[in-house]
Structure 1
Amino acid sequence: MALLSRQPWYVATALAVPILVLASPGALKLSGVPPSWAVLWLLPWALVEGPVSGALAGLGLGLMLDGLNLGGASQIPALVLLGWWWGRMARHGPPLERSFSLGLLALVGTVLLNLSLMLQFALGGSSLEALRLSGLPILLAQTLLTGLLAPMICSLLLLFWRQQTSSLRG
């Protein structure tokens, strides 16, 4: 349990998320909107590591990504909640191995992350009409792109990290 988080090399893979956010590969954008790299990394991590490590990884990712943005909204609450939820789902349910399940979980996670950001902007004084006009197309594009990339990226990370934890145990 929580074997990957004890290995500095695997924890350092979280640094790929802010690097991908900053690099923002153009080929992986839909109408100028990138996928949610944090969701694509956090989902397999939480499924392998469990709820506590998933929540802590969500906190760390949120801190790194909030440090890149000067906006008033934080990704921390949603990422912590998603990391805990996905880790709990892995511990108390059947193993999630199907690509469709990973894509659906990433899709739901991206929607929750974007709704959390939209809610924070709305509570911060932004007009609801401006949020509806600007936030909804971004939410839809990012959700679709993340849901389409998740079966490939999350499946590979999940397979790799599960193999590593089995080799660390034995």
Structure 2
Amino acid sequence: MARLHQQPICVASALLVPLLTLATPGWLTLSGVAPSWSILWLLPWSLVDGPVSGTIAAAGLGLVLDGLGGGGLTQLPVLMLLGWWWGRLGRRGRPIERSLNLGLLAWIGTMLLGLSLWQQGRLLSGLDAPLFQHWAWRQCLLQALITALLAPMLASWQLLIWRRRAPA
């Protein structure tokens, strides 16, 4: 079992997620929509360190991001579910290494996160206007696309580093 959570540099890398969420460079956006940095960090972490560590890391990350975002919407349940699911994928069968697989997993995770936030927004504000629905779909699809395009580069790089750092 990998022990990334015992490596200070790996745990410190989680601090980059809120920083990048608040200050995403303009050239890393797609029509003004930033990638989901939490997904890009959580995917390789969970694949390497397993479902328990993935769920705990997702809970911590979700609490920090919910504290920054406010507005009554929470990322916590979806991030915890994804951390557990990706951790199970990393523990069963052959290791996930292909870029297409990482991109697809990042796309699925971002879509789930976006749809969860959209539904929470609908329930809290009661907005069912077609303009709101069009905007929400656009945001969700653009964020999933930019995250899926960045995942093969960033998640592969993180997987390589973290697999070397994690004692078997």
- TM-score band (shorter)? over 0.9
Provide the aligned C-alpha RMSD in A. Answer: 1.1
Deviation of 1:122 after TM superposition, in Å, equals 1.7
Which amino acid letter does the alignment assign opposite residue 124 of structure 2? G
Deviation of 1:148 after TM superposition, in Å, equals 0.4
For residues 131 and 158 of structure 1, what CA distance do their matches in structure 2 show? 37
CA contact (8 A) 1:118 1:131 kept: no
Q: Deviations over 1:77-124 (max 9, x none)?
A: 110000000001111232101010000000000000001111111221
Q: Are 1:42 and 2:42 counterparts?
A: yes
Q: Are 1:16 and 2:16 counterparts?
A: yes
For residues 104 and 69 of structure 1, what CA distance do their matches in structure 2 show? 26
Which residue does the alignment assign to 1:99? 99
TM-score by length of 1: 0.94
Which amino acid letter does the alignment assign opposite residue 65 of structure 2? L
Deviation of 1:24 after TM superposition, in Å, equals 1.4
Can you give the 5+ residue segments of structure 2 that lack an aligned partner in the other structure? none
For residues 125 and 51 of structure 2, what CA distance do their matches in structure 1 show? 33
Higher relative contact order (CA 8 A, sep 6+): 2
Deviation of 1:70 after TM superposition, in Å, equals 1.8
Mapping of residues 1-170 of structure 1, within 5 Å: 1-129=1-129, 130-165=131-166, 168-169=167-168
| SS class of match (1:94) | coil
Stretches (4+) displaced over 4 A: none
Which amino acid letter does the alignment assign opposite residue 149 of structure 1? L
Which moved further from structure 2: 18-27 or 119-128? 119-128
TM-score by length of 2: 0.95
Can you give the 5+ residue segments of structure 1 that lack an aligned partner in the other structure? none
Which amino acid letter does the alignment assign opposite residue 55 of structure 1? T
| SS class of match (2:35) | coil
Which amino acid letter does the alignment assign opposite residue 164 of structure 1? R
CA contact (8 A) 1:2 1:53 kept: no
| SS class of match (2:125) | coil
